[in-house]
Structure 1
Amino acid sequence: MSKRIETDLQTFIKFWLVPLGIIAVIFLIEKSITGLVIIGISIFLALALKPLVRKVNGFFTKHFGKDKKHQTVSAVLAYLIVVLVLGTIIAIVGPVVVNETAKFVQHFPETFENTFGGWEGINNFGRSIGVNNLEGEISNALSGLSNNLLGALGNNLVSSVSGVANIVMKVVLILILTLLFLLDGPGMMESFWNRIGTKDGDDRPAKVGRRVVMKMANVVSTYVSRQVIVAIIDGCASSAITFVLSLIFNFSPSLALPMGLITMTFYLIPMFGQFIGGTLVTLLLLFSSPIAGGIFAVIYIVYAQIENNIISPKIQGDALNLRPVIILCAIVIGMYMFGLLGAIIAIPIAGCIRVLAEEYPNIKAARE
């Protein structure tokens, strides 16, 4: 027995417009994902700079009185301070990396002879493990590696140049948007909450929404500020270790500051940054003194355990109120979804989700 279903034209159009609209939205989001990521990074950086903006604004208020113009000046100064610090780090670390690499290449034969006893020592070691011509095996491997690298560089030269230009453009956009969000963000949010508060004469949704957003913003700024403090301690420890090793193994003590800046900068990357920074410093010290590089690696591994289990939890405290297993799960999910960027923002996002879960009863009551 068949039934006939009748519907009017308006219902039929709505039925088809809804899925078509969803498909169109998904398509537009996919096409604009790069722009959305740039905007998201800019908002994240603007929130991360909030504690510094507040400190600068507090300085102006204390010495020059309260003035609305101070907020704008504080935002610009905080932004310039961070940009100058990052530029200084690059200006200090970059030449050191280049110089140490060039020095290593220049003195490689001498270092190789003193450390391993030359090719004769390598061949003796090879015979002890059952390889008669270890020198030839290493030479063939290095030759094949260099040929592959040269071929890859030749094939990808044009795409690499365009890729670098694309990265530079994205960095410039992020820097500009971050400054604009610092300047216009508070006013935009205030206007938004005022509009919601006047709707139907009920300001409860606006109050709840403002409180939730402020808590989420504080999660981001608190996480970044505490992470920066631990990163500075990590950098100071690396500098101290490098300085002591330079006195023992007679290489330049001026390497202490750049090595500390390297580990400090990479520590800001959650989970893997500490390993990357420590590995890079170890390699650079190996160029100056292989023994010093090995000793640094051992000491830094021991220090990293102390830092991760005592120093970092003590400073971070219960600021985010997240269990370690939740933090680890958030980092893994973020890393596999968005790569390195996802690993960086995973922990603050998890903290924001916690805020939403805690405030859900209030949000539900305000909606009702």
Structure 2
Amino acid sequence: MYGGTFGAVLALVTDKSVSSGPPPVEAPIAHAPIGAVAEPAPPPEPESTGEHKLPFGRPGKPMGNSPFMFGLVAALGVLTAWWLVQMVAAAGSVLVLIVVSLFLAVGLNPAVEWLHGRGMARIWAITIVFVGVIAFFAIFALSIVPALTEQTTGFVQDVPTLVQQLQNHPLIRSLDQEYQVLDKLTQYVTSGDLASQLFGGILGVAGVVISAVFSFLTVLVLTLYFLGSLNSIKESGYRLVPRSRRERVTKLVDEVIRQIGGYVGGNLIISLIAGVVTFIFLSIAGVPYALPLAIFVAITDLIPMVGAVIGAVVASLVGLLTSLPVGIACVVFFVIYQQIENYVISPRVFKSSVDVPPIATIIGALLGGALLGVVGALLGIPLAAAVLLILREVVLPRQEKL
């Protein structure tokens, strides 16, 4: 009995002597509340390997923050921008033709939609409208080319008579006797040197004519293409917009296209009225070349602000060459008609399509004319209307919500 007790005590003493230090204290187990998600343990910090960091950049990219790399990338960006600008400048004439064709298509689209809404197939509506446009330019060419040819030939033939009349003036006679001015002027006009310097010779004239014909045909073809595929172009463009904003963008773009088309179509209607009224008046007044002058007035009437004045001045000068009373009658007619067009015809035509303040009209025409000449002046007003619409429908409501 004592032997067993002594053995147990000896075993206990032996076990305590082997273990050094106090007995380990177990940490209490922290129970996470029910439903809580245990946070992941933070990753262990990397041990220091004794490597030295590079003076710039990340490991493996020693030139990441180098001033040399920054300058190189900046220089490449500048060169790329310059290259793009040069490409746009080189293709400027082609881009102008594309923009003009697109605006013509948008302007002719209301007429196509009007015919299509009355039961006519769209392809036939486009054909009728396009044939009307071609017929207008054909009539203009057939009417103005013979007149210009006849007037130019007559002027060249009458140069000796005009020179003889100038020689009767005492001052001009004295200058001519000393410097032979009139003889040199007669030889210069009748020898063809004037045409050579104006158009660069025969090759220059041919180049101008070929370029004009090519541009005209290009505009016609592109206008026909845009007119036929205008709806598909719009649908393809709308698909590029995110679905959440597609409906809003569709309504806004459709309204912009409607206003641009309303302006272009309305301007064409006003110009047509101006040409018809001018033709009637010039025919009654007995002014020669009434049809080409009326078409010229209709075309120049498309140009904002100064176009109507240009057409009126040319027609009045032709009337003045006919007789003094006819010239005065032409001036009176154009002054009265311009007032009627500005205050009666234009407001009625544009009242349901374009609402552009006068200051925006002037600024748009001036900026467009400075950038793209006559074409820019034509396109400046509808673009100003589009910008005002975007400001009114998008920018101002967003500012009100801030």
Alignment partners' CA distance in 1, 2:125 and 2:135 = 15
Q: 2:126 aligns with which of 60, 65, 75?
A: 75
User: 2:219 is matched with which residue?
Assistant: 174
What secondary structure does 2:118 align onto? helix
Please name the residue that 1:46 is paired with.
Answer: 105
CA RMSD in angstroms comes to 3.6
Q: For 1:343, which of 362, 367, 377 is the aligned residue?
A: 377
> Does 223-232 or 340-349 show the bigger shift?
223-232
Contact 2:268/2:302 (CA < 8 Å) preserved in 1? yes
Superposed displacement of residue 75, structure 1: 2.1
**Deviation of the 1:119 alpha carbon:** 5.0
- The Cα offsets for residues 118-157 of structure 1, whole Å up to 9 and x where unpaired, read as 959x97xx7xxxxx44577799479548737953433411
TM-superposed deviation, 1:166: 2.0
2:333 partner letter: I
Q: 1:160 to 1:363 in 2, by over 3 A?
A: farther
Alpha carbons of structure 1 residues 91 and 60: separation in structure 2 relative to 1, 3 Å: farther
* Selected match of 2:264 from 218, 224, 248: 224
Q: 1:27 to 1:236 in 2, by over 3 A?
A: closer
Which residues in structure 2 correspond to 1:167-246 (within 5 Å)?
167-194=212-239, 196=241, 199=242, 203-246=243-286
SS in 1 for 2:370: helix
> Residues 156-175 of structure 1: matches in 2 within 5 Å?
156-157=200-201, 158-175=203-220
How many angstroms does 1:54 deviate by?
A: 0.9
Distance 1:28 1:107 in 2: 49
2-side partners of 1:145 and 1:356: how far apart?
60
Deviation at 1:165, TM superposition (A): 1.6
Gaps of 5+ in 2: 1-54
Compared CA separation, residues 341 and 211, structure 1 to 2 (3 A): same
Instruction: Answer yes or no: is 1:296 the counterpart of 2:323.
Output: no
Unaligned runs of 5+ in 1: 62-69, 113-117, 127-131
CA distance in 1, matches of 2:196, 2:300: 30
Give per-residue Cα distances to partners, 1:225-280, cap 9 Å, x unaligned: 2112222232233233223323xxxx77xx54443333222211222221222222
Given that residues 119 and 135 in structure 1 are in contact (C-alpha distance below 8 angstroms), is that contact kept between their aligned partners in structure 2? no
Q: TM-score scaled to structure 2, two decimals?
A: 0.69
How much has 1:173 moved relative to structure 2? Answer: 1.6
Question: SS at the partner of 1:53?
Answer: helix
CA distance in structure 2 between the partners assigned to 1:222 and 1:180 by the alignment:
20
Distance apart, 1:103 and its partner CA: 6.7
Does 2:154 match 1:59?
A: no
2:320 matches 1:261: no
Amino acid in the other structure paired with 1:207: E
Task: Go from structure 1 to structure 2 and tell me whether the alpha carbon gap of 1:231 and 1:195 turns closer, same or farther (over 3 Å shift).
Answer: closer
Equivalent residue for 1:65?
none
Q: In proportion to residue count, which structure has more helix?
A: 1
How many residues align structurally? 329
Distance 2:281 2:147 in 1: 17
* Contact 2:301 2:311 (8 Å CA) reproduced: yes
> 2 CA distance for matches of 1:299 and 1:351?
32
Decide which moves more: 342-351 or 50-59.
50-59
Supply the distance in 2 between the matched residues of 1:213 and 1:142 (Cα, whole angstroms): 64
Partner Cα distance (2:258, 2:309) in 1? 28
Answer yes or no: is the 8 Å Cα contact 2:101–2:220 preserved in 1.
Answer: yes
2:137 match: 86
Amino acid at match of 1:218: R
Q: Structure 2 vs 1, CA of residues 228 and 141 (structure 1 numbering), >3 Å: closer, same or farther?
A: farther
Spell out, residue by residue over 1:186-209, the C-alpha distance to the aligned partner (whole angstroms, 9 max, x if none).
11321332454xx5xxx2321122
2:69 pairs with 1:28: no
User: Using the alignment, how far apart are the partners of 1:363 and 1:26 within structure 2?
Assistant: 35
The amino acid across from 2:355 in the alignment is N
Kept after mapping to 2: 8 A contact 1:104/1:288: no
Is 1:278 equivalent to 2:348 in the alignment?
A: no
Instruction: Tell which has more relative contact order, 1 or 2 (C-alpha 8 A, sep 6+).
Output: 1
Q: Determine helix, strand or coil for the equivalent of 1:60.
A: coil
- What corresponds to 1:64 in structure 2? none
Residue 23 of structure 1 deviates from its aligned partner by 3.4
Please tell me the residue identity of whatever aligns with 1:147: Y
Q: Distance in 1 between matches of 2:248 and 2:114?
A: 27
User: Which shifted more, 168-177 or 282-291?
Assistant: 282-291
Report the structure number with the largest CA radius of gyration. 2
The aligned counterpart of 1:324 is 358
Q: Which amino acid aligns with 2:267?
A: Q
TM-score (structure 1 length as normaliser): 0.75
- 1:106 Cα shift? 7.6
| Range with greater deviation from structure 2 (211-220 or 87-96) | 87-96
